[in-house]
């Protein structure tokens, strides 16, 4: 897509610190890292969210995320990392080209990726389970 920042990185129109590339994906440093070494793994084709990525391409992307997580752990980290994917505006997705964040973590780095824990009322867990199952 012409006005997509990540498509323009793929085309080479916007520079990026690329760490990995294969036929279907590229990986580069996030320009505003949560921690230094924070990478983004993206499909070369423009898909907006994870659900838009065809099944036969998603496994390649996850394999690449694993490869990069290992490399980050060996290079800058101590073996700890978060893998985050924001899908949709309400989930905090700002760039509408699907991407997987890989963020190296360090002891006491004070990075907050936590959420408050809600409680289910009686029977609600059963309702949620049944509702989700309907769409599988
Ligand atoms: P989102 O909130 O959509 O999951 O995350 C988008 C990420 O893309 C942000 O962490 C942001 O720092 C990163 N980003 C946005 N524009 C650019 C860019 O031009 N170059 C690079 N390398 N990263 C970008
Ligand atoms: Zn794009």
Three-state helix/strand/coil letters over the chain: CCCCHHHHHHCCCCCCCEEEECCCEEEEECCCCCCCCCEEEEECCCCCCHHHCCHHHHHHHHHHHHHHHHHHHHHCCCCEEEEECCCCHHHCCCCCCCCEEEEEECCCCCCCCCCCCCCCCCCHHHHHHHHHHHCC
Q: Whose CA is nearest to atom 4 of ligand 1?
A: 93
pLDDT confidence band for 136 (50 / 70 / 90): very high
Q: In the chain, what is the greatest distance between 2 CA atoms, to the nearest angstrom?
A: 55
pLDDT confidence band for 30 (50 / 70 / 90): very high
Q: What is the mean pLDDT of the chain?
A: 96
Closest ligand 1 atom to the C-alpha of 29?
Answer: 22
Interval between CA 120 and ligand 1 midpoint (Å): 35
pLDDT at 1 over 90: no
Ligand 2 being an ion, which residues bring their Cβ within 5 A of it? 1, 4, 6-7, 46, 97
Which of 16, 29, 95, when mutated, tests ligand 1's pocket best, judged by the most ligand atoms within 8 Å of its CB?
Answer: 95
Integer Cα distance of 88 and 107 in angstroms: 30
């Amino acid at each position: 897509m012409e006005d997509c920042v990540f498509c323009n990185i793929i085309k080479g129109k916007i520079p990026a610190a690329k760490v990995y590339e294969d036929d279907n994906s590229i990986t580069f440093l996030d320009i505003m890292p949560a921690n230094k070494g924070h990478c983004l793994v993206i499909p070369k084709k423009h898909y907006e969210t994870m659900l838009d990525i065809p099944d036969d391409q998603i496994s390649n992307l996850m394999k690449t995320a694993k490869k990069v997580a290992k490399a980050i752990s060996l290079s800058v980290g101590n073996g700890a990392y978060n893998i985050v994917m924001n899908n949709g505006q309400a989930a905090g997705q700002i760039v509408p080209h699907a991407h997987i964040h890989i963020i190296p973590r360090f002891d006491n780095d004070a990075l907050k990726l936590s959420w408050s824990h809600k409680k289910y009322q009686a029977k609600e867990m059963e309702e949620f389970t049944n509702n989700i199952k309907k769409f599988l």
